[in-house]
Structures are given as structure tokens and as C-alpha cells.
Amino acid sequence: RRRTHKRSRSCSIASHQAMADDPELAALRAQRMAQMQAEKGDKKEEHQRQEDARQAVLATILDQAARARLNSVAVVKPEKAQMVEAMLLNMYQRKQIAGKVTEEQLRSLLEQVAEKTQKKTTIHFERRRLDDDDDD
């Protein structure tokens, strides 16, 4: 078994070296690698553009105190801040926001999100029942 394993390994190394020596294959690999990197860069740029647009909209609809509070919440609970941002952007798209959102209005939105996401803990005690009865 060891001999066949060594042979198959040496054959795979030889075939790998033959592929590495092929200039067409090397050119195809380089082209594919460049294409993948370009796609990755495009996705990053698109994501960055979307994030910049999102931040620009939030800057226009939030006053300075509300923006500071939202940034503070984002440091502690990023998922909660993302939910509030999504709510604000949704309200902005539906034209439900008139003027800038104040810190008090942002607090009420944060409370709404807290109520929706609050985990309700219930404790259920299950007492062990003994086999012996006092009625005997």
C-alpha cells in the first residue's frame, strides 16, 4: 500500500508540475484571480456606497443629540441600533418623518425596539413527587 501511495503521490506531483509549466493555464489562472479580486472590490465599493448613503440619510433626519445617542447605543448594542436605523430609514422612505428626529423621539423608538426584542423569562418549577403517601 505504501508503494502505491508513493507512486500516486509522485504522479500527482508530476502532473501538478506539468500544469504549472503550462503558460496557457497560468494565464487563465491569473485572469480568473484578477476577475475574482475585481468582483470582490466591486462588492466592497457597492457596500461602502450603500453605507455612506445610509449614514447621509440618518445625518439629515436626526438632530445632533439623537445622532450621538444612536452612536452610543451602536457601541453597546449594535443589533438594536441597526433595528432603530432600519425603522428610521423606513419611516423616511414612507415620508412619515417631518423635520428632524429629536433625542426624545429616538428614545421612544428605542423603547419600542426594546419591548419587541425583550426576552421574556419564565421559570417553571417542577417539584419532585415522592412515592410514599402520607395516607397509609
For CA atoms 31, 37, 41, 47, the dihedral sign is: positive
- Give residue 19's Cα distance to chain centre: 39
The full length of the chain comes to 136
This prediction's pTM? 0.55
Residue 35's pLDDT is: 86
**Residue 100 class from Cβ within 10 Å (0-12 exposed, 13-18 middle, 19+ buried)?**
middle
pLDDT 10s digit of each residue in the chain, 136 long? 555 555 555 555 545 555 556 888 888 899 898 888 888 887 888 888 888 888 888 888 989 999 999 999 999 999 998 989 998 999 888 988 888 888 999 999 889 888 887 777 777 878 877 766 555 5
Question: And the C-alpha cell for 23?
Answer: 503558460
Distance CA 102, CA 86 (A): 17
